[in-house]
Each structure stands twice: as structure tokens, then as C-alpha cells.
């Protein structure tokens, strides 16, 4: 079918949302709570656009395309509303990008950049807690934008059912089980929540402080452990000749981005000085 975005005609497929059709055609619409794997959540409202004939601004991640639809993603009205949403998210957290692990790969930072937001307008008290109790995953509530992607991933994708939103209003936060530290919870440290988080609120511990995201070269391979054959991306620091982190390949039909704790975090053997590098002869 044909749709018009910002005055230009594009092809779209039946069943696509406005956001998906725009993305497929290279039109940028900021989005935070939508992820192809967890689907539209309609929570963050940063993906709002104008659709001719519809009342008010619409969340492009939830509205299906229709033949002849006329969409505007960059009017002053749309940009103003998108900027306000991102500004409020930045204002209500602690977004010290210079020190953040996600710097350079953060979807919130990217949206702020694309919308021309240099610094937050408002000063709201962020949540102070961090959770350093787990073996491989670090959490910082002040960087959480409550998009729910980690919760959807933990419950519906890897079906470990650890994460949920707890408390209400300003106190709302992502909790593990009945609000216990992640290290004491039923979390199996699969890292799916890390992979799905659009910000630096849930990050891998191993690479912290080791390299900036843009210094790492991504090399695709297959996990060396079991016979499932999950596809992985090694994030390699070429200068130091070491693997800094591992993520799952999202478009792999085998694992769809998911990995187990070994596949994602047990890669220290690669650089171990005790590793056998030549055959042993009796």
C-alpha cells in the first residue's frame, strides 16, 4: 500500500505500524519503549506523530498503517511534543553521559541528540538507588525511563519472570521478585534485560570502565558452548586485543538475541594465560 510521510509517498505493508513503515523507509521517528522483540508498549509517547484525520497526536508504534494515510513526523507541533517527552525523561533521571556505560549506544541520548536537546530544562529529584549485588548485571534506577522493555523481555521472551514494576507514582521502579537485590533474586543472569534496555539503567558489569562503545568492533560468531548454536556478537577492543562484552544477534532465528549466562558472560577463557594454544604431546 502507499502512504505519505512528510509529503513524500512510500510503500508500506499491511500489518505494519506507522513507526515500522517509517523505519523501513529510512524516516526517523524517535522511539524508546518499542522494541521489535517486545512489540509496541505505548508507554514512552516519544514516537508521537500527526496523522491526517486523527484527533491529536498519535503514538506511531501502536497505529497500523492504512492505504493513503498521510503522516507528518516533523511538524513544529510534533517536534515540540517529542522534545518535551525526552526533556522530562532526562530531567527526572541522572543522565551523566560522560560516565555512563551506554554512552554512544543509548537510545535516549540518541533521541535527545536528534531532537536538539543539549541539556534538561527541569531539575527533578532522581531515584538514588543502584544495585550492584548480582554477579554480571549492574542496575541504576536514576537512568531508568520505565519503558518496560526489560520486564517484557524477562517475562515473555526468556520467561524467567523476575522483573516487574513495583511501588507507585514517583516511587515506581523496576524490582526483582518482591523487591530484593538482583543478586538474591531468582534472576539467572541471562542478560536479556541488559540487551533490551534502551538506556544505561541495566548494564553488563564486566565491560564497565574498560572501553567506550564506539571503540569496540563487533564480530559475529557462534557460541562455543552447547549444541543450540546461538549467534553472538563479540565486542572486541582491537587495540587491547580482547573481548570486552558479548551480545546476542537479534535477527538470528536460533536465539533471537537471547543468550544464557555462559554464552553472554563466560568468555574470560579466551584471554586466559592458562589456555592451551598448542597440542600437548605425551
Enumerate binding residues for ligand FES (CB under 6 A).
31-34, 41-47, 59, 61
Helical ranges in 57-191 per DSSP H: 76-91, 107-114, 149-152
Strand order in the sheet with 202-204: 130-131, 137-140, 202-204
The binder of 201, among ligand SF4, ligand FES, none, by C-beta within 5 to 8 A per type, is ligand SF4
Which residue has the CB atom at the shortest distance from ligand FES?
A: 61
Q: How many CA atoms lie within 13 A of 67 on its CB side?
A: 1
The binder of 102, among ligand SF4, ligand FES, none, by C-beta within 5 to 8 A per type, is ligand SF4
Binding ligand SF4 by CB under 6 A: which of 30, 40, 148, 257?
Answer: 148
Residues in contact with ligand SF4, total (CB under 6 A)?
Answer: 39
133 scored as a contact of ligand SF4 (CB under 6 A): no
Q: Which cell numbers hold the place of 169?
A: 507514582
Q: Which cell numbers hold the place of 53?
A: 484525520
245 scored as a contact of ligand SF4 (CB under 6 A): no
Shortest Cβ distance from residue 83 to ligand FES (Å)? 15
Binding ligand SF4 by CB under 6 A: which of 12, 57, 61, 106?
Answer: 106
Shortest Cβ distance from residue 113 to ligand SF4 (Å)? 10
Based on C-alpha coordinates, what's the Rg of the chain? 21
Q: Which region, judged by CB under 6 A, interacts with ligand SF4, from 71-79, 123-131, 155-163, 208-216?
A: 155-163
* Per-residue interface string for the shown chain with ligand SF4, residues 204-243, x marking contact by CB under 6 A: ----------------------------------------
Interface positions, 24-83, toward ligand SF4 (CB under 6 A): none
Q: Terminus-to-terminus CA distance in the chain, angstroms?
A: 70
Cα 194 to Cα 204: distance, rounded to the nearest angstrom: 7
Q: How far is CA 214 from CA 156, 211, 237, 242, in A?
A: 31, 8, 10, 15
The binder of 232, among ligand FES, ligand SF4, none, by C-beta within 5 to 8 A per type, is none
Binding ligand SF4 by CB under 6 A: which of 18, 57, 86, 100?
Answer: 100
For residue 181, give the 3-state DSSP assignment.
Answer: coil
SS3 track for 218-254: EEEEECCCCCCCCEEEEEEECCCCEEEEEEECCCCCC
Please tell me the total number of residues recorded for the chain in this structure: 282
Cα 207 to Cα 164: distance, rounded to the nearest angstrom: 26
Q: Which region, judged by CB under 6 A, interacts with ligand SF4, from 19-27, 66-74, 96-104, 266-274?
A: 96-104
Q: Which is nearer to ligand FES, 43 or 79 (CB)?
A: 43
Residues lying near ligand SF4 in the complex (CB under 6 A) are found at 95-97, 100, 102-103, 106, 108-109, 137, 143-150, 153-154, 158, 160, 162-163, 174, 187-193, 196-202
Amino acid at each position: 500500500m502507499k502512504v505519505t510521510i512528510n509529503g513524500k509517498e512510500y510503500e508500506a505493508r499491511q500489518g505494519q505500524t506507522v513507526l515500522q513503515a517509517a523505519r523501513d523507509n529510512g524516516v526517523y521517528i524517535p522511539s524508546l519503549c518499542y522494541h521489535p522483540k517486545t512489540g509496541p508498549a505505548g508507554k514512552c509517547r516519544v514516537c508521537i506523530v500527526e496523522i491526517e484525520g486523527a484527533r491529536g497526536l498519535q503514538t506511531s508504534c501502536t497505529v497500523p498503517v492504512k492505504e493513503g494515510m498521510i503522516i507528518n513526523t516533523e511538524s513544529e507541533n510534533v517536534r515540540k511534543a517529542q522534545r518535551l517527552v525526552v526533556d522530562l525523561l532526562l530531567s527526572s533521571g541522572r543522565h551523566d553521559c560522560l560516565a555512563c556505560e551506554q554512552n554512544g549506544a543509548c537510545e535516549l541520548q540518541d533521541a535527545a541528540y536528534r531532537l536538539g536537546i543539549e541539556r534538561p530544562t527541569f531539575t527533578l529529584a532522581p531515584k538514588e538507588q543502584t544495585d550492584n549485588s548480582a554477579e554480571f548485571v549492574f542496575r541504576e534506577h536514576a537512568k531508568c525511563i520505565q519503558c518496560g522493555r526489560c520486564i517484557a523481555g524477562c517475562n515473555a521472551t526468556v520467561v524467567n519472570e523476575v522483573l516487574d514494576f513495583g511501588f507507585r507514582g514517583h516511587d515506581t521502579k523496576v524490582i526483582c521478585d518482591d523487591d530484593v537485590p538482583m543478586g538474591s533474586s531468582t534472576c539467572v543472569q541471562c542478560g536479556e534485560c541488559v540487551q533490551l534496555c534502551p538506556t544505561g539503567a541495566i548494564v553488563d558489569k564486566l565491560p564497565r570502565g574498560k572501553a567506550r562503545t564506539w571503540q569496540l568492533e563487533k564480530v559475529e560468531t557462534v557460541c562455543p558452548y552447547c549444541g543450540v548454536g546461538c549467534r553472538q556478537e563479540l565486542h572486541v577492543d582491537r587495540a587491547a586485543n580482547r573481548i570486552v562484552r558479548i551480545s546476542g544477534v537479534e535477527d538470528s532465528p536460533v536465539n533471537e538475541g537471547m543468550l544464557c549466562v555462559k554464552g553472554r558472560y563466560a568468555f574470560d577463557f579466551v584471554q586466559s594465560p592458562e589456555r592451551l594454544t598448542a597440542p600437548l604431546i605425551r
